[in-house]
Chain A
Amino acid sequence: MGKEKDVKLKPVSSSGKKSSAIQKSISNNSNLCNDRLSINLTKDDLTFTRNTLNNLSHLMYDETARKIFIEFSELEHSHNHILFWLEANEFKEKYIPVKSYDKSLKPEQQQMPIELPISTTKNQELLNNNVQTPNNKENEEEKEKEEDEEEEEQQQEGADKRESKKEEEEEEEQQSSQQSQLPSESSDNHLKLSASGNKVSRESSSESDDEEADESTLAAKSNMKNALYIFDKYLTPQSQLEVNLDFKTYIDIKKKIESNEIPLSIFDKSQKEIFEVIYNDSYFRFKSSSTFKYLLACTENNELSNSLSKPIKSPKKHSKKTSCFCF
């Protein structure tokens, strides 16, 4: 526990002056061990309150507090559990329901031309802000779906418009190449997947039944890929980041993957178990650490210096904008 002293933490001055206190290297969620970015914890970063810190589930949804917790647990080599929990959450967000797949997508078709550029600029923004890449992945996935829908439309319009389609494809490719600059390795995989998906739909006949089947296989493929990503990274005994999971839970997941059946709830039980492990073990130590005491002091100072009229933000899921890291 003495190691945590390496993390240089100074209290935020109550005068409201930005303290350039922390030079920390924080591992980014999706590129876990390589992508190190250093941040300064400023007064604006205090998106968390005393309550956030004292409640593990709130803490896990607050980006800043969570990153510090991950950093802390990294020192005692128990960060793999937190990362697993987060990525399992991400899996659920990215999950494409297989059966209701095309119904849910129909309304989105109309918005497609507007959505596309926005999502690209979003990605750019996200990159600049160094906000976690999972969001990028989500956008990509939306795009992926959209691309497929586009494909479909074109096929229905007939073969004589092949020329324009090619042009569009080129555009897509350009976007794709933009995307591939993203640091996330899984984004490449997504693109590959979508490319193969296009191929399939091109070869198949224009009967709508088949297309639906293609879409659902595509969705199933994507879910499977995401599930395998987590499985290989955190669950297989060969993995460096293997989590401390009950053997039965592991076998259940393994069986489901082997039988090609990926329900939304596939990681639920393991996530629960790991949450318990984090709660009982790492979180308890985090709470008794000096880092934690420092964070508490920060929130107190912050509350004092802020006028009492300012409402305390409750932690929200997807609070993308709440974390502003200054460089």
Chain B
Amino acid sequence: MCMRKETTPESVISRKIDYEIKKDSQTLSTMKLLLLGGGESGKSTIFKQIISFQDENTKKEYTPSTDSITKNIFTNILTSIQTLINSLSLYQLEFTNDSDKKASERVLSVCEQLENINQSIFQAIAVDIKALWANEHIQSIFNNPKRLYLINDSSEYFFSNIDRFLSSSFKPNQTDFLRVRVKTTGIIEADFTVETVPFKIIDVGGQKNQRRKWIHCFQNITCVLFVTSLNDYDTVLEEDGATSRFSDSLGIFTEMVNSQWFLQSAFVLFLNKVDLFKEKIKKVPLNQHLTDFQGRNDSYNECSTFIKDKFITANKNPSKFVYHHFTCALDSQAIEVVFKSIQDTLLSDIVSVL
């Protein structure tokens, strides 16, 4: 049952050889990067960004057609406005004038057939959406610091750009593509090469029900890119409406960083959605939700460091170093810098082994 490991010179040498064989085999095989994290933390956005830094062929292969992006934008907008309309009752509010009431009915009926959405339907309903978005009640619940509902982080961006989407010659730009929210299901892989070294990047779905699929891609991961949303300290999980997203994310991070699967893997932590976090701490004091926070609620540095430390100290393996980056996944330049640095670290590891 309990055999004590003998540390003989032979066993040390043997382990050393095993380690070297493993290192060598890693250099010959693909660099596998795995994106992990909770739902809506920004994994797919980073995935899209990394693809966009590659050559034209790779980009073409993994970027959806403009038609489907446009359709997803329409779907995102309608889902957001639907959420807002349906959430009025949570604040004991309702539309007071008839025109808004009717507009909301029309919008909700379009939402019933979301799968049929197209340019002309959207053009017809856009006036109503704009009117509703401007409605004082909708604005008040949207800006209410106490969010009782979940809404896409990009909804404000989409609402304010509605006019641009209406044009029949509209072509989504890179920002639209990065902003659009599509739930990831399953495990998505993309292959590309950097300086003749083959890379594979793997994106996964983040909801709880998707996580049991993760195990399928845990083997031989060179580097784990763990994404967490700083902004989520006051929100709950979409999948159960109760668990705090922050503690959920910290929970999976703890599990992953200490996992046997990733003993040999590099670990990078993306503290994502910095832009939204900076705005949110002004409205929602951090210590209301993370009660052990002693610092100043209005200090971005203190708030963000506090959250970062929570994650970093979750790593129980002293020989493992977790790199961390504060990021906004939408900021292409910043992500490119971060990705280049990860890439260089990984490539220099190869060189040092050789």
- A residues with CB within 8 A of B: 1-3, 73, 76-78, 81, 237, 240, 242-248, 251, 272, 275-282, 284-285, 288
Give which listed residue, B64, B190, B208, B239, contacts A284 with CB less than 8 A: B64
Are B209 and A237 within 8 A (Cβ)? yes
Residues from chain A with Cβ under 8 Å of B241 in the complex: 247-248, 251
Residues from chain B with Cβ under 8 Å of A1 in the complex: 188-191
Are A243 and B183 within 8 A (Cβ)? no
Give which listed residue, B62, B115, B183, contacts A275 with CB less than 8 A: B115
Are B68 and A280 within 8 A (Cβ)? yes
B186 at the interface (CB under 8 A from A): yes
With A277-B185, A284-B68 given, is the CB distance from A247 to B205 under 8 Å?
no
What's the Cα separation between A243 and B207 when bound, in Å? 10
Residues from chain A with Cβ under 8 Å of B200 in the complex: 2
- A to B CB contacts below 8 Å, 18 in the list: A2-B189, A76-B187, A76-B188, A77-B187, A78-B185, A78-B186, A78-B187, A242-B209, A244-B210, A246-B238, A247-B240, A247-B241, A272-B114, A272-B115, A281-B183, A281-B184, A281-B185, A284-B68
A-facing residues in B115-154 (Cβ within 8 Å): 115
Are A244 and B68 within 8 A (Cβ)? no
With A244-B209, A276-B114 given, is the CB distance from A281 to B186 under 8 Å?
yes
* Contact digits for B226-241, partner A, Cβ 8 Å, 1 yes 0 no: 0000000000011111
**In the complex, what's the smallest C-beta–C-beta distance from B315 to chain A, in angstroms?**
28
Main secondary structure of the interface of A (DSSP, over half): helix
Residues from chain B with Cβ under 8 Å of A275 in the complex: 115
A-facing residues in B43-90 (Cβ within 8 Å): 61-62, 64, 68, 72, 75
**In the complex, what's the smallest C-beta–C-beta distance from B216 to chain A, in angstroms?**
6
What's the Cα separation between A3 and B241 when bound, in Å? 35
**In the complex, what's the smallest C-beta–C-beta distance from B122 to chain A, in angstroms?**
16
Which single residue of chain A is at the shortest CB-CB distance from B68? A284
Residues from chain B with Cβ under 8 Å of A282 in the complex: 185-186
What's the Cα separation between A77 and B190 when bound, in Å? 15
Are B187 and A276 within 8 A (Cβ)? no
**In the complex, what's the smallest C-beta–C-beta distance from B161 to chain A, in angstroms?**
20
* Contact digits for B176-197, partner A, Cβ 8 Å, 1 yes 0 no: 0000001111111111000000
A276-B114, A281-B186, A284-B68 given. 12 additional CB < 8 A pairs? A1-B189, A2-B200, A77-B186, A244-B185, A244-B207, A244-B209, A244-B210, A251-B241, A277-B185, A278-B185, A279-B115, A281-B183
Are B184 and A2 within 8 A (Cβ)? no
Are B238 and A247 within 8 A (Cβ)? yes
What's the Cα separation between A279 and B74 when bound, in Å? 14
**Which of A2, A245, A275, A281 is packed against the most chain B CB atoms within 10 Å?**
A281
**In the complex, what's the smallest C-beta–C-beta distance from B151 to chain A, in angstroms?**
13
Are A77 and B216 within 8 A (Cβ)? yes
Are B186 and A76 within 8 A (Cβ)? yes
**In the complex, what's the smallest C-beta–C-beta distance from A159 to chain B, in angstroms?**
55
Residues from chain A with Cβ under 8 Å of B190 in the complex: 1
